[in-house]
Amino acid sequence: MRAAPGWVVVVAVSALAAGPAGGPWQTSVGADHPLVGVIWDVKAGRVIDEAALVGRLAAGRFVLLGEKHDNPDHHRLQARLYGAVLAAGRRPALAFEMLDGDDAPAVERYLACAPADAAGLGAAVGWERRSWPAWPQYQQIADLAVKAALPVVAANLPDHLARAAARQGLPALPPELAAELGLDQPLPDALRAAMAKEIADSHCGFAPPGMLEPMILVQRARDAHMAQAAWRGATADGTVLITGFGHARTDRGVPGHLARMGASHVVAVAFLEVQAGKETAAAYAADLDAGTLPFDFVWFTPRLDDADPCEKFRARLDTLKAAQPPATPGS
């Protein structure tokens, strides 16, 4: 494999002041929690300030910024971190999980017109038809790359391939792509079991058992494709990847695929919402079914709300079911 074309940054969250950092907050639930604004260095087991985190990111080769998708503070801090890396004199590409390979032509056409900002990029890719938060939350990040004339990379697996793999499994993917992404290699049993549990838990028990294997495949394919896109789309100063914090896990996810490709200097940061009764960083590892937090750094923020995520998921399922046409006799 050829050498990576530059430095890639894989980030999840960070800030530029000593001690608790990140405010003023747009979210408010748990804002008085003692971990709010804390940036935790997982390996060192200590709190660091925002300037130290930015220094680590600016020196990284691959950086992931791992969000909880619906928390606006996470997007604000991602923009702040990417902007700080640019201010440090780096010029990394910006990759998005939220844009997939099918979006690449529309992104290229938009950037080819030398726009002043990313305001029209959402419309160019049909963002309003998707389930992501409103485009302005991501535009504030994309604006930084567009104004600096840096690449914006559509990193995720093309949606038509993800859908086909979910229905038909590995045979739905072109053999050469499956090999490139390492999907033709078996998963260790322990990793497969961990991924199956993560998927079942995230679907609140509503995922049919027969769907777990295809869903594991799609998760692997997405992680591998994002790693490959970050690698190939890098500038001389690498890539910053905007993604969900689950994809930024160092025990699996994008960092593992980057390592398989021969990448080094990968930095994974995660934004995590605080929870009542959990006042140490180590207390959050159990929620991720890990012995220790599976990131290099964690930035703790308030929560968006106290709604039960499974009730949210149930409501979404009910909406999808209601939108389905009624079954015809004999179908």
Give residue-wise pLDDT tens across range 62-83: 999 999 999 999 999 999 999 9
pLDDT at residue number 8: 55
164 or 12, greater pLDDT: 164
pTM of the model: 0.88
**What value does the mean pLDDT of the chain take?**
89
DSSP-assigned beta bridge partners for residue 67 = 244
pLDDT at residue number 316: 61
Per the structure block, which two tokens stand in for 80?
A: 């702040």
Residue-wise pLDDT for 24-41, tens only, equals 999 999 999 999 999 999
Q: What's the rounded Cα separation, in Å, for the pair 12 and 241? A: 9
Alpha carbon of 176 to those of 90, 151, 161, 180: distances in Å? Answer: 34, 26, 13, 6
**Per CATH, the architecture of 9-323 is what?**
3-Layer(aba) Sandwich (3.40)
pLDDT at residue number 25: 97
State the burial class of residue 322 (Cβ atoms within 10 Å of its Cβ: 0-12, 13-18, 19+).
exposed
Domain residue ranges of the chain, discontinuous segments joined by +? 9-323
Q: What's the rounded Cα separation, in Å, for the pair 317 and 261? A: 37
**Chain-centre distance of CA 48, in angstroms?**
22
Three-state DSSP at 324 gives coil
Q: Cβ(78)–Cβ(242) under 8 Å?
A: yes
Q: Are strands 93-100 and 239-244 parallel, antiparallel or unpaired?
A: parallel
